[in-house]
A and B are shown apart, each in its own frame.
Chain A
Amino acid sequence: AQSVTQPDIHITVSEGASLELRCNYSYGATPYLFWYVQSPGQGLQLLLKYFSGDTLVQGIKGFEAEFKRSQSSFNLRKPSVHWSDAAEYFCAVGRMDSSYKLIFGSGTRLLVRP
C-alpha cells in the first residue's frame, strides 16, 4: 500500500538559514510526488511536483526537491528561509494510474525565528 511519512512534526529555523523538510514514501513503482504548502486558514498550494526525468525539481517561492529512488525520499529544500515561509508543508504521493488519488503525509509545521 502507498504511504507517506514526514518524520518531523515541527521544525524551527532562523530567517536566512537553509531548510530541509524530509519526506519518505512507500510505493511499488515510480510514483508521482508532490509538495504542498498550507498557510494558516488557507487551502493547499502546490509548491512543486515530480513525475519523471530530472530528479531535482524546482518549484515556486525558491523551493526545490530531490527525488532519491534508492532512499524512497523526496526532501524539500530552500537555501534561505524567509519569515513568510512559516506554514505547514505536506508531501504527497500519487499513483500512476487512472485513479488520480493522492496520499498525504501528516505534515511538517515550519516556524521561522526572526
Chain B
Amino acid sequence: DAGVIQSPRHEVTEMGQEVTLRCKPISGHNSLFWYRQTMMRGLELLIYFNNNVPIDDSGMPEDRFSAKMPNASFSTLKIQPSEPRDSAVYFCASTRLGSNEQFFGPGTRLTVL
C-alpha cells in the first residue's frame, strides 16, 4: 500500500497567486481530512469528507479556501488568492468509515511570499 499521497511536497508562491494542493487517499478509505499545521495554532482540521461529500468545513478559515473531492481517489485544497499568513504545512489524512484511525500523508509545505 502506497499510503496517502500528497503533491506537491513543497510549494513556494507569491501573494495573490492561486495554490492547489492535491491528495490521493489510501485505496478503500472513504473518509478524507485536510489539516493545517502551524507553530502558532498547531494542527487544525480544515474540512473532512465522507464518501466524497463534505461533512464539516467549519475549520476552513475563509472563503479563499475551498476543497473538493470529485471521486474516491482524489481531493484538492485550493487557496485563491493566497496570502503570507497561509504559509503552513498542509496534511491530508484518510480513514475507513467506522475505523476512526487516520492515516496521514507526508504533507505539503506551503510558503507564500
B56 and A101: CB pair below 8 A? yes
A43 and B91: CB pair below 8 A? yes
The one of B42, B50, B103 that contacts A107, using a Cβ cutoff of 8 Å: B42
Count A interface residues, CB 8 Å: 22
* Number of A-B residue pairs at CB separation under 8 A: 50
The one of A32, A49, A51, A100 that contacts B31, using a Cβ cutoff of 8 Å: A100
Interface centre among B31, B43, B50, B101 (most CB of A within 10 A): B43
DSSP class of B's interface residues: helix, strand, loop or mixed?
Answer: strand
B45 and A45: CB pair below 8 A? no
CA distance A35 to B97 in the complex (A): 20
Classify chain B: how many residues form its interface, as a range.
20 to 34
Provide the residues of chain A in CB contact with B97, threshold 8 Å.
98, 100
Provide the residues of chain B in CB contact with A90, threshold 8 Å.
43
Binding site for A on B (CB under 8 A): 4, 31, 33, 42-43, 45, 48, 50, 55-56, 91, 93, 95, 97, 99-107
5 closest A-B pairs by beta carbon, nearest first, are A43-B104, A44-B104, A104-B43, A43-B106, A106-B42
Binding site for B on A (CB under 8 A): 32, 34, 36, 42-46, 49, 51, 90, 94, 98-107
